[in-house]
Amino acid sequence: MNMAQRKDFLDFPPGFIWGTATAAYQIEGAAAEDGKGESVWDRFAAAPGKIADGSDGRVACDHYHRYAADLDMMKDLGLRAYRFSISWPRVIPDGRGAVNPKGLDFYERLVDGMLARGIRPFATLFHWDLPQALHEAGGWARRATVDAYVRYADLVARRLGDRVKDWMTHNEPWVFAFVGHLFGDHAPGVRDLRMALATAHGLLLSHGLAVPVIRAASAGARVGIVHNLEWVEPASPKEEDVAAARRHDGAFNRWFLDPVFRGSYPEDMLAWYGADAPVVGADDMKIIATPTDFLGVNYYTRRIIASDPAGRGTSGRSVFAARQVHWPFVPRADFEEWEMAPEGLYRVLLRVAREYRPGFMYVTENGTSLPDTVGPDGAVRDTVRLRYIARHTAAVLQAAGDGADVRGYFLWSFMDNFEWGFGFTKRFGMIWVDYATQRRVLKDSGRWYSQAARDNGFPARDANAPS
Ligand code: FCB
């Protein structure tokens, strides 16, 4: 044992990154300001009935105007890394035409603001806000969109690449492709398996094409992609449940990991999708597998999967013929059906390290939403979130100790924000936001996280306390 280690204290490796993450549409607001173009999320949220509380991202956290104060808070909390996303339609309003200089200026101010405060910028180029014009021209299924993205990536990397050295091409292609094009719960609200798979392929192809372009524009840059991964277990040893769990894993994890790290789609899933599988150009798979520097892992939940007795359907989730089972003794988040299962994060990190060997990894998102309120004393006592973060970061430490090269953790999210289809009904932040006044209040979990970042660790009892 290293004698420098503190007793009953979880010491993280030296240089471990304690960051937070956000996305442009969820926090910026200023949706039509300074020449910003329309994105699919602007259009989707404006349509009646799409967002749980009827809200939209037009103002959100007003971060476009308040970014300096937000960065001040980040600095005061001792957070030295920030994963943010760049809005494509803010930079190129219709996606492929004229550049909007004011859009680029904003991201330059933001990045300079981070650097001035000792915060390392981690930039995501696409976090779902596709220019509406590109969607109308056929979206990611069309090569023209892929090429437009590469031009956009080149433009941004040229402008910011001397200061930003950590780049992520895409955030969670699975969500944009499937939730947006098969389930229809996210923008652009399409419901079509073939379209979802073509979208996923376009996203992956554009990733592979952008990697060398970003490197050329940003000397010494580290480039990666962010996938949302789940730990999947069959609900029983029955053959059909094992097959269903493998299918869920195939659709969700392997469909995105195999192309990037092995240059192929998984055979079992190609067979399952049959004629709906994407059209793959001669060099596509080689391009998609262009070596990257790191993988960003977004982890929120573990899933217990059983086969669906209804069999395979033709729409929505039914195409996987797999259903989620909940064991009543597992705690769940106030969000969809997400189980709180930190051991799943440990297993995902080790599995990816062993089976895919991605340079190194970051946990680029992890967190939980709770129905937080500000108490009479002005505090937000979110002990459940505090424990959630302690347990998940402890799982990261355990995975690092057991051989996964994971170098940092980005808490989702820096502040409460517009949670896509759930609008403002979900709060994931370490900072509570009063949307009427834009007042920010540090939650208990945020205070804890700030201390953990400063100490590069925390007392073990924070992770293993019974509640
Ligand atoms: C992830 C998204 C992020 C946020 C969290 C809760 O899927 O990347 O924008 O919505 O979920």
Check if 365 has its Cβ closer than 6 Å to any atom of ligand 1: yes
Check if 179 has its Cβ closer than 6 Å to any atom of ligand 1: no
Interatomic CA distance for residues 12 and 394, integer angstroms: 9
Check if 339 has its Cβ closer than 6 Å to any atom of ligand 1: no
Cα 171 to averaged position of ligand 1 atoms, centre (Å): 9
pLDDT above 90 coverage of the chain, percent = 96
Check if 412 has its Cβ closer than 6 Å to any atom of ligand 1: yes
Q: Would you name the residues annotated as active-site residues?
A: 172, 365
Distances (CA, A) of 336 to 61, 96, 149, 286, 368: 23, 35, 31, 36, 11
Cα 5 to averaged position of ligand 1 atoms, centre (Å): 34
Q: Which of 364, 365, 418 to mutate to test the pocket of ligand 1 (most atoms within 8 A of CB)?
A: 365
Closest listed residue to residue 222, CA positions, set 351, 422, 359, 410: 359
3-state class (DSSP) for residue 127 = coil
pLDDT at 336 over 80: no
Check if 419 has its Cβ closer than 6 Å to any atom of ligand 1: yes
pLDDT at 2 over 90: no
Q: How confident is the model at residue 422 (pLDDT cuts 50, 70, 90)?
A: very high
Q: pLDDT tens for residues 29-71?
A: 999 999 999 999 999 999 999 999 999 999 999 999 999 999 9
Check if 42 has its Cβ closer than 6 Å to any atom of ligand 1: no
Cα 62 to averaged position of ligand 1 atoms, centre (Å): 19
Q: How far is CA 277 from the centre of its chain?
A: 25
Closest listed residue to residue 277, CA positions, set 205, 207, 206, 195: 195
What pLDDT sits at residue 428? 98
Contacts of 56 (CB under 8 A, 6+ apart): 31, 42, 45, 46, 418, 423
What pLDDT sits at residue 345? 98
Interatomic CA distance for residues 62 and 83, integer angstroms: 18
DSSP state of 251: I
Instruction: Find the mean pLDDT for residues 432-457.
Output: 98
Report the CATH fold assignment for 3-464: TIM Barrel (3.20.20)
Q: pLDDT tens for residues 96-122?
A: 999 999 999 999 999 999 999 999 999
Distances (CA, A) of 269 to 173, 184, 249, 266, 378: 17, 21, 10, 6, 51
Check if 241 has its Cβ closer than 6 Å to any atom of ligand 1: no
Check if 416 has its Cβ closer than 6 Å to any atom of ligand 1: no
What pLDDT sits at residue 4? 60
Instruction: Find the mean pLDDT for residues 400-425.
Output: 98
Instruction: Find the mean pLDDT for residues 330-357.
Output: 94
Name the residue at shortest CA distance from atom 9 of ligand 1.
23
Instruction: Find the mean pLDDT for residues 307-334.
Output: 93
Closest listed residue to residue 379, CA positions, set 434, 435, 432: 432
Atom of ligand 1 nearest to the CA of 228: 7
pLDDT at 154 over 80: yes
What pLDDT sits at residue 466? 86
Q: Which of 26, 419, 424 to mutate to test the pocket of ligand 1 (most atoms within 8 A of CB)?
A: 419
Check if 333 has its Cβ closer than 6 Å to any atom of ligand 1: no
pLDDT at 282 over 70: yes
Check if 174 has its Cβ closer than 6 Å to any atom of ligand 1: no
Atom of ligand 1 nearest to the CA of 172: 8
Cα 9 to averaged position of ligand 1 atoms, centre (Å): 30
DSSP-derived secondary structure for 334-398:
SSTT-B--HHHHHHHHHHHHHHH--SEEEEEEE---------TTS----HHHHHHHHHHHHHHHH
Amino acid 205 reads: L
What pLDDT sits at residue 61? 98
Q: How many CB atoms are closer than 10 A to CB 34?
A: 13
Atom of ligand 1 nearest to the CA of 226: 8
Q: How confident is the model at residue 385 (pLDDT cuts 50, 70, 90)?
A: very high
What pLDDT sits at residue 3? 46
Residue whose token pair is 């896509």 = 420
Instruction: Find the mean pLDDT for residues 329-334.
Output: 88
pLDDT above 70 coverage of the chain, percent = 99
pLDDT at 1 over 50: no
Check if 171 has its Cβ closer than 6 Å to any atom of ligand 1: yes
Instruction: Find the mean pLDDT for residues 241-255.
Output: 98
Cα 238 to averaged position of ligand 1 atoms, centre (Å): 33
Cα 97 to averaged position of ligand 1 atoms, centre (Å): 29
What pLDDT sits at residue 255? 98
Atom of ligand 1 nearest to the CA of 420: 10
What pLDDT sits at residue 298? 98
Atom of ligand 1 nearest to the CA of 426: 6
Name the residue at shortest CA distance from atom 10 of ligand 1.
419
Distances (CA, A) of 166 to 26, 73, 129, 263, 391: 21, 22, 20, 23, 27
Name the residue at shortest CA distance from atom 4 of ligand 1.
419
Check if 380 has its Cβ closer than 6 Å to any atom of ligand 1: no
What pLDDT sits at residue 150? 99
What pLDDT sits at residue 335? 81
Cα 197 to averaged position of ligand 1 atoms, centre (Å): 20
